[in-house]
Structure 1
Amino acid sequence: MAVKKNVSVISVEKPTWFPLTDDTGTFPIYGEPTTIGTAVSIKPDVTTETTPDYGDSVVQDQYVAFGGAEVTLETNGYQNEVLAEITGGEKLKGGVLRSADDIAPDGAFAYRRRKSNGKYRYTIFYKGKFALTSDESSTLEGSSVSYTHPEWTGSFVDVPGVGYMYSVDEDDDGVDLDMIKNWFTKVTNPREESTNPVSGVTLDKTELVLTVGETATLTPTIAPENATNKNYSFKSNDISIATVTPVQGKVTAVTAGTTTVVVTTEDGNHTAECSVTVNA
Structure 2
Amino acid sequence: MSADKMTVGFKNIHFAIMQEDVRKGETTYGTPKYFAGAMQATLNPNASSQTVHVDDVPVATVTSTGVLEMELQVDSITKEAAAELFGYRIDANGVLLEATKGKSPYIALGFESESIDGGKLMNWMYKGKLTVPSQEFQTKGESVEIKNQSVTGQFVNRLSDGEKKVSVHSNDEGINQEVILDWFDEVYKPVATTVPPTV
Which TM-score band applies after superposition, normalised by the shorter structure?
0.7 to 0.9
**Cα offsets for 1:208-245 (capped at 9, x unmatched):** xxxxxxxxxxxxxxxxxxxxxxxxxxxxxxxxxxxxxx
Aligned to 2:16: 18
Aligned to 2:121: 121
**Residues in 1 aligned to 2:70 and 2:164: alpha-carbon distance in whole angstroms:** 12
Cα gap change, 1:97 to 1:119, in 2 (>3 Å): same
Tell me whether 1:164 sits opposite 2:171 in the alignment: no
Structure 1: segments with no counterpart, 5+ residues: 194-280
Structure 2: segments with no counterpart, 5+ residues: 194-199
Residues matched between the structures, number: 188
Which structure has more relative contact order (CA 8 Å, sep 6+)? It is 2
Tell me whether 1:111 sits opposite 2:111 in the alignment: yes
Cα gap change, 1:168 to 1:136, in 2 (>3 Å): same
What pairs with 1:64-213 in structure 2 (closer than 5 Å)?
64-93=63-92, 94-99=95-100, 103-142=103-142, 144-160=143-159, 161-191=161-191
Structure 1 residue 52: Cα displacement: 4.6
**Residues in 2 aligned to 1:112 and 1:57: alpha-carbon distance in whole angstroms:** 47
**Cα offsets for 1:90-128 (capped at 9, x unmatched):** 4445213234x7532101110000112322110111111
* Aligned AA (2:21): D
Q: Quick check: which one's strand share is greater?
A: 1
**Residues in 2 aligned to 1:183 and 1:162: alpha-carbon distance in whole angstroms:** 21
Structure 1 residue 41: Cα displacement: 1.0
The runs of 4+ residues in structure 1 deviating greater than 4 Å are none
| SS of the residue 2:47 aligns to | strand
Taking only the aligned residue pairs, the percentage that are identical comes to 21
- C-alpha contact 1:108 1:126 (8 A) present in aligned 2: yes
Aligned to 2:7: 9
Under a length normalisation based on structure 1, what TM-score does the superposition of the two structures give? 0.61
**Residues in 1 aligned to 2:33 and 2:131: alpha-carbon distance in whole angstroms:** 15
